[in-house]
Structure 1
């Protein structure tokens, strides 16, 4: 069936069976067989979404732009589509909904793990593996932290007053990696002498994760908190069999299409405790050539023995909120960490914790999680500034769920009301007068990225969802990050903010794991008396008042910022403001349709199936 809309034409498969929330959920693949041999293109050892499997396949078996024959499995619709990208969208032969699952791995991943594995791994015969790697990429570039020494900007000594960092990126000017972190930096002995750790995440490559710890910490107790079920859970447990120090906590996911999407580290040291909330999966690809965000807490000292339960709380209530979040799992495996947090002084924390946990919430519980939690925080703690009522809101994300037939169903109603809770009248909300800028990569952004088309495997917006909400695309803005040197490192970071009309100031800034979806943020039910959330998410909210800024806003550290602004009052927004709206020829990246009219940065096309 051919349809036409504002962004061109596309062909809809007769077997389309997308569901309302499925597009954003990171539902693991459970189709793999544990003991089956894997070919180079069969997929990574860890479970992954259809989008990431497609990216893995295209990395292992690229289709060069000069190739004249598409694979035998290409559907007739794809063949007709070949060379016609400018005409619009065409559905690939795979009509499964993607989930915001992020992983791209290939044969080299497994081989490199064998070569550089801890002693528990017997396989060490990798002498000739280097010759089998892709020409464009060296294994040491892909799997190791960038080797440049830490610059003189000392992030341990307060050089970053907000504790907000980006990840290091291979292939950009090193000046743009100044102050950026790799996972090995986070786990470095420079931050503390590790006693034990907990890793909360969505997608986990266990052997790779162990390698990121310094050698002296690799046998310390490690708790992995995950949301895998059935076959994918069995695969995760199988990965960990060589490591006796690893234990697991399975997050309860009782609502369909929910995921454990939270990305957090709890690091216990001899010297104290540290909390890290970030946006990266625990796989090599997410720490290589993507734009990711990290909030690194101060080192929290242990409280004197006999301290009261209320001791060590911050003005932002971070300690009690973190304990509440962990208690929501209802898992005995987390009791030890809850007790440890109680024993430490978190009073130096200046950010607010904003989480989502699966469930249906009524009464005062509605404001504990999701977008209603953001609404409550902004109402209670954000300053109301002159003319702020019509200030825009900016959302930036890497995946999009089904948001309804028009903006009134969620985006311009309950969600927008939460984003503008401080400084906007109900009348303005009802008229949707507040400008909404949604930053999501175009096809051209992905094609010209460092990774090329496979970068789109971690941007799983599907044709099934996109064709139902063409209205949404009028809000879209390009990914451009010249300010941080990351225009060609596709975003997996998710951020939300309220800038002024001239984009010189922001009233607040949020970095989170939550994409633009009702599954992540929650949706009101029963005439607004109940909030339903499907997934676990976690982020931190930066408010000027918590950093002692009486004016009620941060300056924006960006291309337009004049020299001489105090770094303590300028926030390092990681992409360009103001965002640039899509042009007439721009299309949002859709993962499950082919792109064959122009080569990517590696000279390849994209045919996902």
Structure 2
């Protein structure tokens, strides 16, 4: 079947059904973008390019990697050419202008690993000496061109971290934009800097790892220190990660062994540098008013992984009492009774009940959600989004369901095709936005909630988001009731879905986030910092929302970015088209 869209004509040859949320299989939330064996014929790509972008990742990111290595240049004649998709697809609605690929919940590939597996073990942090106090000046150490970070940049980052930053909320530095738009942002090199002290060992939790790149982010004097990579890879993907880590004797791997699903976190919230408790102090000491220490330990214990027991022991020995945020995690499983509020959106609901107040004027305040991937949410809004999930987000105080909550506006921010096309990376940026055709065509109702991604940057180009945030705002977008930064995208797999007549919450994935509540900072509400990059100084108590407000709803010509269909009628910022196969 041939379909025409505003971005070009393409051919659908057959159907490729995606798997729904209800199917109890091994699924990945961040996603279940795990690799299905490709049936596409890519004669112009070497096998190393097709299968190995240098790190484990989703099909969407692999497509982006392929197109970066071998871009398809835009030519006007391509606007009328037909491009055959390698997999069979269901025919989509006539007025869509696009069709879909694998859903947010695919099964893992089957079959034996292609590489021998090495034993995974965790370095023993107990054998390591304690952190030395951070120095007041950046230490001198040799650098190579590849690792060049000037002393001025070092000191600038140190000044940023050393300043009174009330919320300790930072964005990630972006290459290719004016320096002023990176003000207040951090690179992973900043976090690993000797300015924090002498690094003894580290544990990295993530969805995908580019091992060579990660090692280069460590200062030279720390690159031989023990590094633990906590991952969710299985089978071929796991074997590839092991091969990538094999040359580094100081790197060990910890696989999250899961029966349902795995998702990891990309949050950037920077804690204070926690001091060690005096020897002999009970390990239950050093707790914060937000219960952060015990909640973090509970999250790590949920992995049931021996390598993480070492890190639990370290956390227990430190004083986390300075923490002023609440931890909200998700762990795979089915939870009932008193445990139904331990994880997912029921955990958020519990905290909002206990630590917010029933203020009448806030009952109608909008909820804003922003994310980079979307799961299967059901045939209409009543199945999950505007029932159990929204019920959790609109709770105010311990009064059960609040009156008027069904009238609360819900604004969902997700990039349009034009957002991606005009971004810094162009179309390949969509590799980190794996909303697929099979998922989207099942929930066309959802798109009426969509608002454009818009953040203040240089010129007309923009960096595509991978951050995920949720918040409750006043109608004039000047005040905020709460703010959550998390790894959880908009999916039941990440947040959980009720089963057994609402008595059981089923979660497929690991997720982690931190919740900012005004009460923890001695405030009634947060004032929003409207112009994050403005020269005008705003109070330190203003919260830096990472995108423009108010959100701008999609117009009639806007379409949500769908990663696995071609866009050939208009070039991106690099003069290329998008042909994902």
TM-score normalised by length of structure 1: 0.79
* Residues 149-548 of structure 1: pairs in structure 2 closer than 5 A: 149=153, 150-151=155-156, 154-255=159-260, 258-263=261-266, 278=267, 294-422=268-396, 426=401, 428=403, 432-482=406-456, 488-548=462-522
| Shift in Å, 1:74 | 3.2
CA RMSD, 1 decimal: 3.4
Paired residues of 2:435 and 2:561 also in contact (CA < 8 A): yes
Per the alignment, residue 575 of structure 2 pairs with: 603
Q: Distance in 2 between matches of 1:330 and 1:485?
A: 48
Per the alignment, residue 61 of structure 1 pairs with: 70
Once the two structures are superposed, residues 388-433 of structure 1 have per-residue CA deviations (whole angstroms, 9 ceiling, x without a partner) of 1111100000000010011110000000011111168737567x31
Once the two structures are superposed, residues 42-101 of structure 1 have per-residue CA deviations (whole angstroms, 9 ceiling, x without a partner) of 5403232221121112111211112646999931799xxxxxxx9742337xx4446799
Aligned partner of 1:29 among 16, 30, 35:
35
Once the two structures are superposed, residues 364-395 of structure 1 have per-residue CA deviations (whole angstroms, 9 ceiling, x without a partner) of 11100000000001110123334111111000
Per the alignment, residue 18 of structure 1 pairs with: 18
1:569 aligns with 2:541: yes
Paired residues of 2:468 and 2:486 also in contact (CA < 8 A): yes
1:90 aligns with 2:115: no
Paired residues of 1:495 and 1:509 also in contact (CA < 8 A): yes
Paired residues of 1:23 and 1:97 also in contact (CA < 8 A): no
| Shift in Å, 1:605 | 1.0
Change (3 A) 1:213 1:514: same
Change (3 A) 1:226 1:39: closer
Q: Distance in 1 between matches of 2:388 and 2:8?
A: 30
Once the two structures are superposed, residues 16-53 of structure 1 have per-residue CA deviations (whole angstroms, 9 ceiling, x without a partner) of 31122379551332659xxx974445540323222112
Q: Distance in 1 between matches of 2:81 and 2:171?
A: 41
Paired residues of 1:428 and 1:434 also in contact (CA < 8 A): no
Per the alignment, residue 123 of structure 1 pairs with: none
1:52 aligns with 2:52: no
Change (3 A) 1:230 1:72: farther
Change (3 A) 1:545 1:533: same
Once the two structures are superposed, residues 442-461 of structure 1 have per-residue CA deviations (whole angstroms, 9 ceiling, x without a partner) of 01100000000110111011
Unaligned ranges ≥5, structure 1: 79-85, 102-139, 264-277, 279-293
Once the two structures are superposed, residues 149-187 of structure 1 have per-residue CA deviations (whole angstroms, 9 ceiling, x without a partner) of 253882232332111001111121101111211111110
Once the two structures are superposed, residues 306-349 of structure 1 have per-residue CA deviations (whole angstroms, 9 ceiling, x without a partner) of 11232100000000000111111111111111111110000000
Paired residues of 1:100 and 1:460 also in contact (CA < 8 A): no
Paired residues of 2:424 and 2:461 also in contact (CA < 8 A): no
Change (3 A) 1:501 1:145: farther
Q: Distance in 2 between matches of 1:230 and 1:560?
A: 44
Q: Distance in 2 between matches of 1:31 and 1:259?
A: 20
Q: Distance in 2 between matches of 1:12 and 1:408?
A: 31
Per the alignment, residue 554 of structure 1 pairs with: 526
Q: SS at the partner of 1:497?
A: strand
Q: Distance in 2 between matches of 1:200 and 1:218?
A: 17
TM-score normalised by length of structure 2: 0.83
Change (3 A) 1:347 1:400: same
Q: SS at the partner of 1:491?
A: coil
Paired residues of 1:23 and 1:401 also in contact (CA < 8 A): no
| Shift in Å, 1:598 | 1.1
Per the alignment, residue 284 of structure 1 pairs with: none
Per the alignment, residue 115 of structure 1 pairs with: none
Unaligned ranges ≥5, structure 2: 22-26, 39-44, 88-93, 108-144
Greater Cα shift, 303-312 or 552-561: 552-561
Q: Distance in 2 between matches of 1:50 and 1:44?
A: 11
Aligned partner of 1:593 among 540, 548, 565:
565
Q: SS at the partner of 1:235?
A: helix
Q: Distance in 2 between matches of 1:157 and 1:214?
A: 20
Q: SS at the partner of 2:186?
A: coil
Q: Distance in 1 between matches of 2:66 and 2:8?
A: 28
Per the alignment, residue 24 of structure 2 pairs with: none
Per the alignment, residue 116 of structure 2 pairs with: none
Once the two structures are superposed, residues 131-159 of structure 1 have per-residue CA deviations (whole angstroms, 9 ceiling, x without a partner) of xxxxxxxxx99x97799725388223233
Aligned residue-pair number: 523
